[in-house]
Structure 1
Amino acid sequence: MLELTEEQFDFYKRNGYVFLEPLDASELAHFKELYHSDRSNFGWSWYTNSCQTINCDSLMTTPEFDGIIRHPRVLNALEDLMGAPACFSEICIRHMTAFDGEPDKGGWHRDRPHWLEHPLRIDYMQLMVYLTDVDESTHCFAISPEAFDDEILEIEDQLEKRGEVDIHGPAGSLVLFNMSHVHRAHQRVTKKERHTLQIYYGHLERPFLSNDSIIPAQFWRDHEDPEVRKFYGKLNAKTELFLDDLKSKD
Structure 2
Amino acid sequence: MDDRLSFFKDNGYVVVHDALTTTEIATVNDGIDADRAIHPEHWQMGPRVGFDAVGCDAPDLLHRTLALDGMVYHPSIWSLVRSILGEGTLCSGLTFMFRFPCDADPPEDIDGGDPLCLSRQWHREDRGNVEGAQENAYFTSAIQAIYYLDDVDEGCHCTSIIPESAVTKRSLPKTTEGDVCITGTESAYVDPEKPTWIDSFGREGPRRIGRVDVHARAGSVLVFNNASLHCATIRKTARLRRALHVRYRQPEPVRSRHALKTPYESVADFQTALPDRPGIRRA
TM-score range, shorter chain: 0.7 to 0.9
Q: Kindly tell me: are residues 159 and 145 of structure 1, through their superposed partners in 2, closer, same or farther at Cα, counting changes over 3 Å? A: farther
Between the two proteins, the alignment pairs up a number of residues equal to: 224
Q: In the alignment, is residue 108 of structure 1 matched against residue 122 of structure 2? A: yes
The root-mean-square deviation of aligned C-alpha atoms, in Å, is 2.5
Give the corresponding residue for 2:203.
none
Give the corresponding residue for 1:144.
162
Q: In the alignment, is residue 165 of structure 1 matched against residue 166 of structure 2? A: no
Does the aligned pair in 2 maintain the 1:54–1:92 contact within 8 Å? yes
Unaligned runs of 5+ in 2: 106-116, 173-183, 192-207
Does the aligned pair in 1 maintain the 2:152–2:216 contact within 8 Å? yes
Letter in 2 for 1:206: P
1:6 Cα offset (Å): 1.7
Does the aligned pair in 2 maintain the 1:140–1:186 contact within 8 Å? yes
Q: In the alignment, is residue 128 of structure 1 matched against residue 146 of structure 2? A: yes
Letter in 2 for 1:26: T
1:139 Cα offset (Å): 0.3
**1:117 corresponds to which of 134, 144, 157:** 134
Q: In the alignment, is residue 71 of structure 1 matched against residue 89 of structure 2? A: no
Distance between the aligned counterparts of 2:118 and 2:39, measured in 1? 28
1:127 Cα offset (Å): 0.9
**2:90 corresponds to which of 87, 90, 96:** 87
Letter in 1 for 2:121: G
Give the corresponding residue for 2:24.
27
Give the corresponding residue for 2:7.
11
1:168 Cα offset (Å): 0.6
1:114 Cα offset (Å): 2.2
1:201 Cα offset (Å): 1.1
CA deviations on 1:27-77 (whole Å, 9 max, x unpaired) are 122112122222222221124364421111322222431211121232211
Bigger CA drift: 210-219 or 178-187? 210-219
Distance between the aligned counterparts of 2:134 and 2:72, measured in 1? 26
Does the aligned pair in 1 maintain the 2:12–2:166 contact within 8 Å? yes
Letter in 2 for 1:107: Q
Bigger CA drift: 180-189 or 20-29? 20-29
Does the aligned pair in 2 maintain the 1:46–1:54 contact within 8 Å? yes
Does the aligned pair in 1 maintain the 2:120–2:234 contact within 8 Å? no
Higher relative contact order (CA 8 A, sep 6+): 2
Unaligned runs of 5+ in 1: 234-250
Q: In the alignment, is residue 202 of structure 1 matched against residue 249 of structure 2? A: yes
Does the aligned pair in 2 maintain the 1:59–1:216 contact within 8 Å? no
Distance between the aligned counterparts of 1:175 and 1:15, measured in 2? 12
SS in 2 for 1:136: coil
SS in 1 for 2:104: coil
Does the aligned pair in 1 maintain the 2:89–2:250 contact within 8 Å? yes
Does the aligned pair in 2 maintain the 1:143–1:181 contact within 8 Å? yes
Bigger CA drift: 173-182 or 103-112? 103-112
SS in 2 for 1:128: strand
CA deviations on 1:100-131 (whole Å, 9 max, x unpaired) are 11454331111132234233221111110111
Does the aligned pair in 1 maintain the 2:27–2:67 contact within 8 Å? no
Give the corresponding residue for 2:176.
none
Distance between the aligned counterparts of 1:32 and 1:114, measured in 2? 33
SS in 2 for 1:48: coil
Distance between the aligned counterparts of 1:212 and 1:200, measured in 2? 16
SS in 1 for 2:166: coil
Identical counterparts, % of pairs: 25
Does the aligned pair in 2 maintain the 1:60–1:216 contact within 8 Å? no
Q: Kindly tell me: are residues 166 and 73 of structure 1, through their superposed partners in 2, closer, same or farther at Cα, counting changes over 3 Å? A: same
**Comparing both structures, which one devotes a greater share of its residues to helix?**
1
Q: In the alignment, is residue 54 of structure 1 matched against residue 52 of structure 2? A: no
1:210 Cα offset (Å): 1.9
Letter in 1 for 2:35: D
